[in-house]
Amino acid sequence: MKNSTLYVPSVFAAAVIVFCSIASSRADAAAEQPRAYREELTVSPNSFQGTDVERINQAIRTASQNGLRVVIPRLNVKQDSESQTWMLDSAILVEDNTVLELNNCHIKLSDRCRDNMIRSANCRLGITDIRPMKHIHIYGIGSVLLEGADNPRATGDSAKTLGKHSYGTDAARPGESQTGDWRNIGILLSYVEHFSIQNLQIKDSHCWAISLERCSFGKVIDIHFSSTGYKEINGVRETILNQDGLDLRQGCHDIHIERISGQTGDDLVALTNINNKNAKAGSQTSTMVSAANCRENGFDDIRNIFIKQITGFSQGGHHVVRFLNAGGLRLYNIVLDGLIDTSPPGQPCKATLKIGDANPKWGGVTPLGDTNRLLINNITGTSTHTILIAGSLTDSCISNVIRYANGGEPITYASGRSFIRNVQLFNVMQKSAPIH
């Protein structure tokens, strides 16, 4: 459907302005600005003994208990050596009231590590009742790189078998889980209120680079992803699956996402709300560390999310941005303003933006009303589909969409128009050929 009119009804424009203002101000108030801490006393892991991650975690515990800021500097200074890399054998664990500054440093997973890069300390293997946490801020100063292992023990999500689907040296190793799980995620926060993650580059993640579960009132800003869906290991190109950039899972709400860029092996940004009644918290059989269920009264709905200035593509040919909810989990009050698809010539993503999915694996097309109040604006796409609606969508608006690809329409109704209700389109257009 095309509409060349430039007029957007004032009621809709006012609604967008009001909603964006509310969402942004709530996130601003909730995610305290890290710079406010810069005049406070700091704690450095260089003041402690042990492995690199032991020293970092000692610094975090000391700082959080005393209201101080942790600074991981560029130089990793030990008693008998100096290095410009901090090697992690296990996850950095952030506590309540953690302010973690990464100052021009390089943090890398070791080949011994089968764990996250950074994880909220309230969750791990065997914890079924996750304690809520508050006030966690992780931010970079200057050039900060978080990087996967040279030869990872495990990659991919919980549906991927090591050695068969996705690479891992734990493949066929006795006593080790033979599938991926939440430990492959780079930065994992669960049940955290009032948080921020800012100014980081994440390269060659073992699965999703950042995943938020049941987190609220926070910000994810200025994150650059660099992964391709494979890695050359010992001269062989090995497959690494599920390298999403940023994922929001069950119960995430009131979160501001801005300036996300780069290339990923899978979706660049995804709001993924899938019900799996068999997945238990703290188990090795799930890509979520918390329970992947659907609590009553809408507690696990993804809502009140503001997404702005997304630039990038999926090297693996998936989606730049994906919205997916199923199994009674709703997704609503989502603003996406500014999405530039940078898929290179001859390598299009499946879709610049995909909404929903008819796949029965995730519950099929959502009932009308489960995916609603989406305000989508300023989209340029060079993928096979620009906006692919494969589920249901109600009470929403799509505006200022330009498709730079031959053939096809700017909006594809894969699930059929019977699953679309009260969705208004403005300034949706197609150019005859891509511009590069």
Task: Determine the pLDDT at residue 46.
Answer: 98
Tell me which of 8-12, 73-77, 276-280, 335-339 is least confident: 8-12
Residue 10 has pLDDT above 60, yes or no: no
Distance CA 158, CA 420 (A): 33
pLDDT-derived band at 274 (thresholds 50, 70, 90) equals very high
Task: Determine the pLDDT at residue 361.
Answer: 84
* Residue range 413-423, pLDDT digits in tens: 999 999 999 99
Q: Taking CA 252 as the corner, what is the angle to CA 303 and CA 341, rounded to the nearest 5 degrees? A: 75
Residues 6+ apart with CB under 8 A from 122: 130, 131, 132, 133, 190, 191, 192
Task: Determine the pLDDT at residue 34.
Answer: 47
Task: Determine the pLDDT at residue 394.
Answer: 98
Task: Determine the pLDDT at residue 433.
Answer: 55
* Residue range 85-122, pLDDT digits in tens: 999 999 999 999 999 999 999 999 999 999 999 999 99
Tell me which of 85-89, 239-243, 277-281, 364-368 is least confident: 277-281
Task: Determine the pLDDT at residue 36.
Answer: 43
pLDDT-derived band at 277 (thresholds 50, 70, 90) equals confident
Residue 21 has pLDDT above 70, yes or no: no
Q: Taking CA 26 as the corner, what is the angle to CA 23 and CA 32, rounded to the nearest 5 degrees? A: 130
Please give the residue that has the higher pLDDT: either 290 or 24: 290
What mean pLDDT is reported for the chain?
91
Residue range 230-238: mean pLDDT, rounded: 98
| Residue 328: count of CB within 10 angstroms of its CB | 18
Residues 6+ apart with CB under 8 A from 14: none
Residue 275 has pLDDT above 70, yes or no: yes
End-to-end CA distance of the chain: 25
pLDDT-derived band at 39 (thresholds 50, 70, 90) equals very low
Task: Determine the pLDDT at residue 11.
Answer: 36
**Could you tell me if 290 and 214 are in contact, meaning their C-beta atoms sit under 8 angstroms apart?**
yes
pLDDT-derived band at 432 (thresholds 50, 70, 90) equals low
Residue range 361-386: mean pLDDT, rounded: 95
pLDDT-derived band at 407 (thresholds 50, 70, 90) equals confident
Percent of the chain with pLDDT strictly greater than 90: 86
Task: Determine the pLDDT at residue 40.
Answer: 54
Tell me which of 18-32, 163-177, 187-201, 220-234 is least confident: 18-32
pTM score of the predicted model: 0.91
Domains in the chain, start-ordered, CATH in brackets? 50-251 (2.160.20)
